[in-house]
Amino acid sequence: MTGSAAANPIELDRLDRQILRCLQLNPRAPFSRIAGAIAVSEQTVARRYRRLHREGALRVVAAVDPRALGESDWMVRVSTRPEATMDIARALSRRDDIAWVSIGSASDIICAVRSHNARDREGLLVDRLPRTTAVLDVAAFVILRRFVGGSASDWVGLHDVLTPEQEAVVGVDRRRPPNDSGIRLERADYAMLEVLSRDGRAGYGTLARASGLSEGRVTRRLAALLESGVVYFDVDVAGAALGFPVSAYVWLTVAPAHLDAACAALSRHPQAPFVAAISGRSNVVVSVTCRNLDELYAYATDELGSIDGVQAIEIAPVLRRLKQAGAMVAGDRLSPS
């Protein structure tokens, strides 16, 4: 499970956590604004951020919401022959339309598919994977609604490190829901997004050089993509490297009448950086991070066990994560951009 103990975990003091929370609230906030919010120098904020980024603790990234393009997000579980699990997981990790890849057992791969068009998604789920000799079964579930994980700021794990006044200074860049603006991605957009998927804080000059557009056009185009909900910014955190080495996917079966309330309750859990209602017999999936197995057990019995309407729980510990929010994972840390 990403291990029972993290090797050389990154030590985060209160200032590091404050900077991380500022970025969750406003991923592209200038260092000067973050410094003003937490009363330190701009140089200190920049130095701390670069260290955390260099050590693989966090990344600010841009991503495309398939829903804004008329598509959808999917969670997929692939059952394989044990000897082929790693090869198939690595092949899936190399696909641009797969954002997360985890190995849950010797023969279980869990991944998130975020294709920009139905042809690519169906080609993978209907044609390619089922015809792979070592693949025994493919189960795909569409994400009906995200409760946590739809915005960088909606995870409550660090909600108490800033005062309301500090949050007001840094500002909250809330994710816009997809709308019917009719915006479609163009070649220059993809060039710009290629940069932002590696460094979501890249300057407009860098984006202009990559896309071949002027800085003014890049600024306006990115603003339009954000306003339409096609593009959003996220803060990717390496939980294992930060002292939370145990991670798992929890699949819940919840009575329909309790579904919304159950997901709302789950969204208030600091152990849950991702909560979504999905199609299928298990109609809720939760990504959980804990310090150890005892904490995971306590979370399952105390927190999950107290939610009304929960009829069944399946805990699938993550043995190894290969890709996270579009970034490859090296051990317990995010790979360099």
pLDDT at 5: 40
- Tens of pLDDT along the chain (337 residues) come to 444 344 566 778 899 999 999 999 999 999 999 999 999 999 999 999 999 999 888 899 998 888 888 889 999 999 999 999 999 999 999 998 998 999 997 789 999 999 888 889 999 999 899 999 999 999 999 999 999 876 666 676 777 889 999 999 999 887 777 776 678 899 999 999 999 988 999 999 999 999 999 999 999 999 999 998 899 998 888 887 677 889 999 999 999 999 999 999 999 998 998 999 999 999 999 999 998 999 999 999 999 999 999 999 999 999 999 998 888 888 778 876 5
Cβ proximity of 62 and 196 under 8 Å: yes
CA distances from 226 to 3, 78, 174, 216 (A): 37, 33, 10, 16
pLDDT at 241: 67
pLDDT at 294: 96
- In SS3 terms, 128-165 reads as HCCCCCCEEEEEEEEEEEEEECCCCCCCCCCCCCCCHH
Distance CA 189, CA 132 (A): 34
Distance CA 324, CA 328 (A): 6
pLDDT at 242: 73
Distance CA 200, CA 213 (A): 18
Side by side, which strands form the sheet with 310-317? 310-317, 246-254, 284-290, 274-278, 135-148, 74-80, 108-113, 98-105, 320-324, 327-330, 333-334
CA angle 165, 168, 169 (to 5 degrees): 95
Cβ neighbours of 8 (radius 10 Å): 10
Cβ proximity of 27 and 201 under 8 Å: yes
Q: How much is the pTM?
A: 0.84
Beta-carbon contacts of residue 216 (< 8 Å; ≥ 6 apart): none
Mapped onto helix, strand or coil, the DSSP state of residue 76 is: strand
CA 210 to chain centroid: 25
pLDDT at 8: 64
Beta-carbon contacts of residue 334 (< 8 Å; ≥ 6 apart): 56, 57, 58, 59, 236, 238, 241, 324, 327, 328
Among 192, 267, 274, 205, residue whose Cα is nearest residue 231: 192
- Domains (ranges, CATH) in the chain? 66-147+323-334 (3.30.70.920), 179-228 (1.10.10), 238-319 (3.30.70.920)
Q: How many residues does the chain have?
A: 337
Distance CA 285, CA 276 (A): 6
Q: Which helix (H) or strand (E) holds 230?
A: none
Distance CA 242, CA 226 (A): 30
pLDDT at 151: 66
